[in-house]
Structure 1
Amino acid sequence: MIQTVIFDMDGVIVDTEPVHRYAYFKHFEELNIPVTDAMFTTFTGNSTRNVFQNLKEIFNLEQDVEDLIKRKRTIFNDAFDSKEDLELLEGVEKLIKDLHENGIQLILASSASKVTIERVFRRFKLHPYFTHLVSGEDFPKSKPHPAIFEHAASLSIAPKECCIVIEDSTNGIKASTAAGIFCVGYNSIHSKSQDLSEANVIVNNFNELNFDKVKNLDSKLRSN
């Protein structure tokens, strides 16, 4: 039986991607580097540190990675605090509460920084439902590397075989697959540029999931 659900955050619990995108491109403009939409899409699911490590090599940036990260996060935090219409994605709060009330352990495994995770969880009062919050900034390699999900699974109350991951990005799904964890791909309006084909199951709305349906994924786990 499924005992632990590992959630991604951006694009799964809350859509902060437009805020991140705004912060990144404002910073790119300041740096005068021509990052295309296509290039930016390949960074989805990466930590801020990994994004700037890559960009530093691509564009031969003189700034230290830590300084680049600090500036981008300043822009993001200012925009986040002023965005009054930021809401949880449709159906996810109901799903989180349903799973929690039925004894499913919830773990967050997000590429976002600890500061951003804390901002989201404090704003939407999500702390009571999750036993662990895992940030990508603690790992040298971002998704699609499996390290973050391997660590999240190690925090589970059950074996990895009794865990599932909910992801909306190509890199996140690849990371879950590489970690050997059953993956539910969330095909939201915010993930249209992402390839979810490697997910074990794809849902288009969180109303398609509840405790009973998640519990029954156990049979699909055994058949994979």
Structure 2
Amino acid sequence: MKAVIFDMDGVIVDSEAIHIKTKMQTLREYGINCTRQDCLPYFGRSSRAFFSDFITRAASSISLDEIVARKHQLFLEYIADNDAVHPVKGAIALIKDFHNRQVPLALASSSVRRNIEMFLKRFGIYDCFDVVMSGAELLHSKPNPEIYLLTAKKLGIKPQECAVIEDAEAGVTAAKRAGNYCVAYCNPDYRDCGQNVSAADVQVDSLNDIDIGRLLVQRY
């Protein structure tokens, strides 16, 4: 592999529980019922994809842009406290290790760009990434491979020569459809989320289990 592409939520930032909480709160404000279980299939997908489906099911005329903006506002309010969100164990060390080895790095997240940049700067790793892609700015959400194909293009490296680190079924599917080598991080805290990441080339229970040397010599 010549480059590594990271997902963000659930891989770098331990934020999935907050996304679920703010999605549920947003829908309640608009009179739509939603449970934690309802949110689980949307791990790794954009807020627009999530709310679009719920608006359709409720046969509602709610503005998609409005409800998505409200969710982002609630999320930002929640994480304004620096102690509210923490990096995933092993993520920062792994990113810095790749960077120190001069491995081209990219981030391809379904989150909005302001959230991405805020977390990367807060954790002191913004300058480690050569390319930062926000799926919120693209036409298609994961599991569509668009974000990984475009990220590889911006890196100037073939998708088959990029390794992706993901934690969600939608993200793993997107990476494999793009032709990437894929490492699935199976967070023990989300075992009940029903994420099928069996399509990944390798699965790890901890980011500390990723063997950088072995990953970089993988060939497709």
**Which TM-score band (shorter chain)?**
over 0.9
Aligned residue number for residue 96 of structure 1: 95
| Percent identity for Structure 1 against Structure 2 | 30
Structure 1 unaligned blocks of 5 or more: none
- Checking the alignment, whether the CA contact within 8 Å between 2:96 and 2:125 is kept in structure 1 is no
- Distance across 1 between alignment mates of 2:118 and 2:59: 32
Note the C-alpha offset of 1:128: 1.2
Segment drifting more, 209-218 vs 130-139? 209-218
- Distance across 2 between alignment mates of 1:58 and 1:97: 43
Specify the SS of the correspondent of 2:140.
Answer: coil
Aligned residue number for residue 204 of structure 1: 205
Alignment of 1:19-168 (within 5 A): 19-82=18-81, 84-168=83-167
Note the C-alpha offset of 1:96: 0.6
Note the C-alpha offset of 1:174: 0.6
Structure 2 unaligned blocks of 5 or more: none
- Distance across 1 between alignment mates of 2:140 and 2:159: 21
- Checking the alignment, whether the CA contact within 8 Å between 2:143 and 2:174 is kept in structure 1 is yes
The amino acid of 1:203's aligned partner reads V
Segment drifting more, 172-181 vs 80-89? 80-89
- Checking the alignment, whether the CA contact within 8 Å between 1:102 and 1:211 is kept in structure 2 is no
The amino acid of 1:163's aligned partner reads C
The amino acid of 1:211's aligned partner reads I
The amino acid of 2:145's aligned partner reads P
- Distance across 1 between alignment mates of 2:31 and 2:188: 30
Aligned residue number for residue 8 of structure 1: 7
**Structure 1 residue ranges, 4+ long, deviating more than 3 angstroms after superposition:** none
Specify the SS of the correspondent of 1:82.
Answer: coil
Q: Give TM-score, length-normalised by structure 2.
A: 0.94
- Distance across 2 between alignment mates of 1:191 and 1:104: 30
- Distance across 2 between alignment mates of 1:141 and 1:39: 21
- Distance across 1 between alignment mates of 2:158 and 2:142: 22
Note the C-alpha offset of 1:210: 4.1
Distance 1:191 1:167, change over 3 A: farther
- Checking the alignment, whether the CA contact within 8 Å between 2:131 and 2:155 is kept in structure 1 is no
The amino acid of 2:144's aligned partner reads H
Distance 1:132 1:104, change over 3 A: same
